[in-house]
Chains A and B, each alone.
Chain A
């Protein structure tokens, strides 16, 4: 334990040294004051980043179908046959599941890139371990530092998690907000004032209270949506907060329910629609900020290439990711396709990964947020940037600063 802790500190110090001048941002008071100042000086839109994590392992072969792969039908004839006729062609032998109407629209607008055969960095079929690795962005599990937290720290920005409690991806030294729709009547203002006094000597509680009050004020002006807990509604609220002038620079959204061990045809059709509508809500509510936005959709691993005995699929290895947004140079399927013949599969059963989700995210952080090499190493110490143009070279996000 002691040894491990020391290593942790060493790594932190090392990373902080590499990251250089932005260490001063750690003090929350300095943080918010400076951000405000910053927003006043640069009265221009800042590039936004939204990360959607699909928990439970999305069956990528049912989302982005490799229709021209000669072995596809050998492994999952029934699954493919259920949707084949209605898929959206992406070119290059790939097609989108028919539920992805918005994604197809974005693809045609060159605002969507799909990446095939990506792994999350953990060659394991454990949801929790793989999610931890994907969220931490580190080679070993580290449950108190997420890559988006380090990225937003390097970027000197603000972050928001649409969740009751902070997910690992946004945990770390940088203070991140959480938000989830209220279900109870707010208390009277007088109570909050008294609590500010009561928490005077308690750093954590007073900090959280100040943050909570500020966030509520921001949301008071937001237009209300029905079914406020559905993913599309959460995405809409998220986008509204992001689009605000003092709003955060990045946000993390979670969508669960992808662990389709049984009867997956109907379930995935519903999940894909939910995801698709969520992306549409982000675009609608980010409004003109959509042009400065990148939405990254990732999952912890893929599923078995073959259908299992209960009309579903089991835990696999490589999956797919989506990169959407007005700032994206899209309209392409990226990533090397490994093939589905028996010899090409990972351990004889899974799609073989040909790149790491985090390599693509690193490229996005480089091109979208302009993080330099030292900062990128701070976010992903063991990952190399993938060589691909993912962001439009002349997008507003590149010229605003």
Chain B
């Protein structure tokens, strides 16, 4: 390969991509910016591996199995192993496989960002199966369109409705509310605090309650009717009447009332600011450059939240290309980039996928297990503890021993000549190829992007 003259290509593949694989660096170097911008197309997932219907079919099977075995007192854990784990692990492996082999790594980075922005955790047997569906069904198809469409698709997805307890929330004056059940504010609160306006978004407790009423009745069918198990608006649980949120009045309009609120939230100035900031912080630096965030916010406002336009502004902004790497890779970024470094075929070895998943668990970033609707942290300090580093070392040691790659050619593929003399010397002094590769993947350069 010819020497890479363009430092921006190295930034493009490592900072914005998922770490170079194959001939990516030489492809990117012709026009790094264009190489990134042409990637802004939604990833496509194999539906046969899992969608809402198949997820609820697993739940139906699980429940039937439990009923059949009621007398034998089967352990809940055995049922999980039989039904939940294979389905869930299949989805985890599939998305990791896509990340490792993709030739649009930038789109996957953005996909992972929004999947974490709308974090759902598999905190029980049902959610363990349903949570991983959210990103495939609601996020991927809407990734580069209007944020409003993405937002509505996410908030109406069974995974989110279940995770934040909206499926049983009914308005106090609705038909169902007058009988027994009541309003649950959880989803409404997180929509405002985490999904749109942000922590200091200027909303009140009254706004939260009003939004909860606007989306009361947003529910899903579930495993009782597998073929029709997705989103269902239950008008008998919807709070009747007009709502007033952030000073604006929304007249009664059934399911569309809540959707109208979400559309306004999606283009709100605070939403523009908070998600632009978060995106820049994720990609560029923990304290992202102010001008960059301002430019992104402006594009957001102008396009009423067109994600592709906002991302394009980020890529075209000079402050996104500072040569110093500011971000320490999160475990997922680290694991994926390491696997991309050692894997240069289009097919990922099953054993590599297993190792990748073990790595994510041991480093504390298991898929769909953030345990908080805020998702996993994207800040350096949260991934740089001493124990975290030790776990990173042990994992790379495991991976490095399985690879026959020549560290020198891996270096060429990822950094070309842009490694410190100390790292070059350390690699040259390694006792074996495996150790050389291990040292490369643990080098200060590879740990940052």
Residues of A in contact with B (beta carbons under 8 Å apart): 1, 55, 125-129, 141, 144, 161, 164-166, 171, 177-180, 182-188, 190-192, 194-195, 197-202, 204-205, 207-209, 211-213, 215-216, 256-257, 259, 261-262, 308-310, 314-315, 347
Contact = CB atoms under 8 A, between A and B. Distances in A.
A401 B420 CA distance: 49
Contacts of A125: 189, 205
A180 B435 contact: no
A165 B170 contact: no
B184 A309 contact: yes
Interface stretch (B27-35, B65-73, B361-369): B361-369
A201 B388 CA distance: 20
Contacts of B374: 128
A296 B272 CA distance: 40
Interface of B: 123, 165, 168-170, 177, 180-186, 189, 193-194, 199, 205, 290, 358, 361-364, 371-372, 374, 377, 381-391, 393-395, 397-398, 420, 422-423, 426, 429-431, 435, 438-439, 442-444, 447
Given A177-B387, A179-B387, A215-B386, A195 B381 contact: no
Contact of B189 (A126, A198, A200): A126
B166 to A, nearest CB: 10
20 contacts: A125-B189, A129-B193, A164-B364, A164-B387, A165-B388, A166-B382, A177-B387, A179-B387, A184-B358, A187-B394, A195-B393, A198-B422, A198-B426, A205-B447, A212-B389, A259-B186, A308-B184, A309-B169, A309-B180, A347-B205
Given A165-B377, A182-B394, A261-B184, A194 B420 contact: no
A148 B431 CA distance: 44
Contact of B426 (A194, A204, A213): A194
B364 A180 contact: yes
A205 B394 contact: no
A200 B422 contact: yes
A128 B193 contact: yes
A194 B185 contact: no
B130 to A, nearest CB: 16
Given A187-B394, A205-B444, A215-B387, A309 B183 contact: yes
Nearest to A187: B397
A355 B180 CA distance: 35
Contacts of A164: 363-364, 385, 387-388, 391
B186 to A, nearest CB: 6
Contacts of A126: 189, 193, 199
Nearest to B293: A1
Contacts of A185: 394, 397-398
Given A178-B387, A188-B397, 17 more contacts: A165-B364, A165-B382, A165-B383, A179-B387, A180-B387, A184-B362, A184-B398, A185-B398, A195-B439, A208-B385, A209-B390, A212-B387, A215-B390, A259-B186, A308-B183, A314-B184, A314-B185
Contacts of A197: 422, 426
A126 B372 CA distance: 12
B389 A208 contact: yes
A128 B201 CA distance: 14
B371 A187 contact: no
A144 B384 CA distance: 14
Contacts of B186: 259, 261, 314
Most buried by B among A55, A166, A197: A166
Given A166-B381, A262-B168, A309 B181 contact: yes
B219 to A, nearest CB: 12
Nearest to A166: B385
Contacts of A213: 390
Contacts of B398: 184-185
B442 A178 contact: no
Contacts of A216: 390
Nearest to A199: B444
A1 to B, nearest CB: 6
B185 A315 contact: yes
A208 B386 contact: yes
A327 to B, nearest CB: 28
Q: Which 4 A-B pairs have the closest CB atoms?
A: A309-B182, A164-B364, A178-B385, A211-B386
Contacts of A188: 397
Contact of B381 (A55, A144, A200, A261): A144
Contacts of B385: 161, 164-166, 177-178, 208
Given A126-B189, A166-B385, A212-B387, A310 B438 contact: no
Contacts of A190: 431
B362 A194 contact: no
Contacts of A195: 393, 439, 442
A316 B318 CA distance: 46
A205 B390 CA distance: 11
Contacts of A201: 420, 422, 444
Contact of B386 (A55, A129, A212): A212
Contacts of B180: 309
A220 to B, nearest CB: 13
Given A126-B199, A205-B447, A211-B386, A186 B184 contact: no
A209 B420 CA distance: 19
A205 B185 contact: no
Contacts of B435: 191, 194
Contacts of A208: 384-386, 388-389
Contacts of A192: 393
Contacts of B358: 183-184
